Structure 1
């Protein structure tokens, strides 16, 4: 049944509201801490049993990927229906049932470029949270210049053989499968790259977590030593991977930006305004005493509001089928700056409380803010450096030519 008219959409809203009331557990309507986030996959451990129930129920409806086609496990909803679902989940403060690179990046690319067999094989497991994916893109000598990658993929007749190294592979040590860029032709640069999928438990795959200055280890070095991959796991054509890579980067930059990088929700952290009122003080009207800091916090809050509206508009344009590829670079650059500015303001407002790292002498939220401030330094590097994104804007949006 299609829901196109306002009356039909309201009927759908009533159905969604009734279903959510019956199926969303009460504990899934509360703020979520970082260790309660569900990534799915073979190694998933549910801190709250209701998280598993919620994921299974939403997955069975296809509502973890509401606009994906039903034949691949998705919800088959229209853009307007998906918006209604989003609104009704927000109304009851329902948690997202699943966080997944498969949902945000790989799945949309596979729907566009994969063959029918690949879509039916991989997409339903993403929707249900049964498979956790990681991204094999950057290499020690190919970060900003991604097309310079050297991980070799050789055709051995009945299989491919992969040798090489990736770096900054997010959660590679926790992932089940990887979508990976490999070099299948050394005589060409962009035209010699292919896009391939393989199991992270394949013989010859090794991961080593990288500890960051913030103390966390979300990234890994990933090594491939004579990894055998079935040929039916190549997506698209041999040497046709760069086109897929560019499209997936658009999805990555959009998802990073939409997520706002390090959200303070459920972390124990407050925002710049709250910290300023506590540690700097307020006047008789409840305003932050330091006028200069107050003004900069206000600027940040207006910037954040405009940014979120822009992200929503871009999302609506993408769902309507409009080309928004270059917008992703603009938003990614803006998101990195916004998040770094937010943590700078938080640390400034905290004063000496912002020096805390561990132990009982400092508030948990303040310690998290300090670590978040350090972590935010990577925002302008990950998912495409700010310099690269500015180059994209200069060339593709403003039409500027390279300096000769």
Structure 2
């Protein structure tokens, strides 16, 4: 699934009297073919914008950082001169290689790393590189991929910008949800991944002295380490949340088709609830094993959220959308509950979506209520029960919609939730 960008770079400092800006799409040829006109942006008036003192992430010089500065020669040596055999993949940012470097803690020990090399994309690619360094240089959490260091050299060979991460040997969640995956993720693993991803987003949104909005949450940006712990990666599009007293940040509209929240696409107004919407889409990915947008499927099944809608109001029909590679009868009740969490995240009105800490509490309840799934990782002790959190949102269900269509008219009867 391609990453789209409606125009390059962030908005420039705005005048004292803001004027409406037109957010116009600027797809690559390939992206234009894939997306058509489904993401046409509308004019937006930025009446509540980010503070001029908070337009950048906390600078590395202002906060402690353990990042190591590598030379380009060290990167060539680590990757055997960027050998094709060391290449792990290629994305919008550039190529990613597997490398081997000396451990900073024990120079006699060598460790595997993933080295991402910035492609020749110009200014915007450099901005994403700087953002990654500034974000991962000052944050640390078990469910965020660790940035080991960076390389920044300018010489006769040109501009060299590289990022060095901890190596994640089990690839991305997207890889394992793919129909090409030899061994699909079990339901227990999917719940564990949902927990880990929710913990990572909760940390970014609520557990620091500044808020970070991921802005490109998706299954390909969730990586799995050697113990199958899920960690969020690729922070090149991340932004600081709005300062106290303001409701949103006005930005260029960027993200991935199928994941981006509708109000963000339409207005360019970004909040943490945009990430919550993306998380809801991801939960349906885990439930169905399908991508949010798949042009290879029949027309009526290409958009995941539209395809699942007719199956959600009837528990008997619901099993038809479960990933056929799973034991449907065994996971049905647990999947029911996880879909209710997804529905809360996919409320049409951003204000009615839960915070990520509330989402995390609900997912913990799903895990604890699931029989035979064991303990994927010590769940956080919830402050509220699943039923209490769900009841809080029942009065708002009538507002829940996906896109322009109606969402659930009501939540399933509580007896369905209590059967697990």
Q: TM-score, normalised by structure 2?
A: 0.25
* Structure whose residues are more often strand by fraction: 2
Larger RCO (CA within 8 A; separation ≥ 6): 2
Q: TM-score, normalised by structure 1?
A: 0.25
* Structure whose residues are more often helix by fraction: 1
User: Which of structures 1 and 2 has the bigger CA Rg?
Assistant: 1
